[in-house]
Chains A and B, each alone.
Chain A
């Protein structure tokens, strides 16, 4: 059963996204009720009937002109600037507060039709070296630790989407884009592709596993023993 507007939020920043939605919903909801209310009221009150005569006005009197301008100014300040302010604030708390790269876990992801290639730097902290750890569709991150992801693409545009963390960024061939997040609750969550990338778009699903720091380290070491990493892709971190 659906009991909420959004899927469960397991991030430090998703709150700001959801909050912005409810602010926008209340402001636009009020505007909508006003329009719909006046519309219905006019239809009830001013229907054609015997003895009723429409008033003759072009609405170009100085009073009408000032009312229009006043209304426009009101909309601009009450809705537009208000929303822009809240968006600015929410952006600052989410995309505008990057974590310190030294403390964060750094990951490179290079999707292809229709899978996610994922790369950890390994013990040396340098990407595209022999001690890297690469996986397919399996993204493991420690809980409560900031994660920075760099994205590019092997073929067409894909979009890296974590619905439970309210973030998304396109993976564009020829470019390196990035996003960051911090998960707050252990568990497994969906990774989805949000940009149409071909006939297999619907099944381009990955799994995000959030677990305590020690378990994550254990997993990373076990992965390193699985075999040599895929060195066919990857890039220097500071591109």
Chain B
């Protein structure tokens, strides 16, 4: 028992991350239902559960509670659901196995980083029950709404900030571990050009982590100092206890991290999609080098575009023009990604397995998410839709739809390896189909109401004359979201049932080439008895003149005679 609870083994830690992330995913999903109920039927009592959640108002969401709902939804989904699943679980599970190592470079640091996240999780839960309730500043924690105890006195706000800061430190330590492991612990013969694309995604994501997480952690601690130690870093005007604070400084620090954060979460997904398209098209990933170089380019660009979140903030308009140009330049490396993905599919032999469906889903929804980002990069248009549901729809296409589809692709693909059993294929297809339809209905309609000027984070659109015509769409969104959340029940059922009841999985159920599929499912405690010797890249599918099967494992000694790199 102790061996599994306080373990330094990367696979155990990865599963701890996975279960923590899945718990918070479900929690954040329930918060969404409350939010959309309130927007669809403002101030009406919530059926069934309302009386337990809001007894003092007869079951209806109160104006004080509404900001807590969207704040906790955002904070939880970004930092406690998606991050643990995509960085914590995907990173920890796959990196040592795919680079042919026995564990992470720093196993104890790895364990510490999980337990910091766990501590942060506890703080998040506790924050719901302290006097004044949970944080209500929005997940972006904009000062001075967040940093002044005159406007947000609750202890919940402190716990939320502290929880996110702990999470930031945890991710930072994870990032250092990932970089070191990928650089130092690769098996003999595993050159950088033979890494699976998933590992490249995790590598660049980890670099962004180590660069930018310290900044947001520092900003969060400064907000805490403003709240409790009487400093005035981020407060100015009549509210300020003393001179010298700069309100916009917080936004620069937050978005300096905040924009790279998008790529921190999407890079592992992009890499995974590159690998999966290759596996299930039975064809080498097209333009491997161009794909990696594109990720490198975006890694650099992502650090210098944060100003596009601040076009209406009062920032100098001349600076704004530079941010417009830099932001839309990101579409060039992104376009190369799409080019390579589609070229991988072309002339392949496509197997529509569940992980493949989710990978293809990522290609589709990220096309929408990426292209709508171009609208927001145009500041003349952005000042109109800034702070509206157009932004919400856009970033849910990238940060919810794409990233969640990536997380599902990861879980469906790696489940046999992690647990030695298969998930139900048929249920997985239904899960994909229903999620795909409902999620597109939800996020595209959100963008449409945003075009009508529907502000985000308002509890009641019917208070405004110009929003009255679109209230029926809020009702529609309520039901569409219910459908989207309900579709996820299929996943939860399938996941937990398959843990014990799934059919036993062979070592390599997908006929995939990378290192991990050469060991048993689940892998031995220390992965590899002797370091594997790598002879070729991870994407050797449909290799000509190969008899018996259509692919080469990365350890296959025939690679040299077949002349493959």
Give me the interface of A with B, judged by CB distance under 8 Å.
Answer: 1-2, 5-7, 16-17, 20-21, 24-25, 27-28, 31-32, 35-36, 38-39, 42-43, 46-49, 52-60, 64-65, 68, 71-72, 75-76, 79-80, 83-84, 86-88, 90-91, 94-96, 113, 152-157, 159, 161, 163-164, 166-170, 172-175, 177, 188-190, 192-203, 205, 233
Contact = CB atoms under 8 A, between A and B. Distances in A.
A203 B349 CA distance: 56
Contact of B314 (A25, A54, A169): A169
A233 B345 CA distance: 64
Given A168-B384, A190-B465, A202-B458, A43 B67 contact: no
A96 B142 CA distance: 28
A72 B455 contact: no
A87 B324 contact: yes
Given A28-B371, A202-B66, 5 more contacts: A7-B452, A87-B379, A90-B381, A157-B142, A163-B452
Contacts of A174: 236-237, 240, 245-247
B349 A72 contact: no
A84 B378 CA distance: 7
Interface in B57-114: 63-64, 66-67
Interface of B: 63-64, 66-67, 136-138, 142, 144-145, 148, 150-152, 235-240, 245-248, 281-290, 312-314, 317, 321, 324-325, 328-329, 331-333, 335-336, 338-340, 342-352, 360, 363-364, 367-368, 371-372, 374-375, 377-381, 383-384, 386-388, 448, 451-453, 455-460, 463-467, 469-470, 473, 539, 541-544, 550
Nearest to A43: B350
Q: Is the interface of A mostly helix, strand, loop or mixed?
A: mixed
23 contacts: A17-B384, A28-B374, A35-B363, A35-B367, A42-B345, A43-B350, A46-B348, A49-B349, A54-B282, A55-B542, A58-B288, A59-B290, A71-B336, A72-B335, A87-B381, A91-B321, A166-B383, A168-B312, A173-B236, A190-B467, A198-B136, A202-B66, A202-B460
Contact of A164 (B239, B285, B378, B466): B466
Contacts of B246: 174
A28 B372 contact: yes
B453 A192 contact: yes
A141 B132 CA distance: 41
B364 A36 contact: yes
B544 A32 contact: no
A113 B151 CA distance: 9
A90 B375 CA distance: 13
B238 A91 contact: no
Contacts of B349: 46-49, 52-54
Contacts of A205: 463-464
A83 B63 CA distance: 40
A58 B363 contact: no
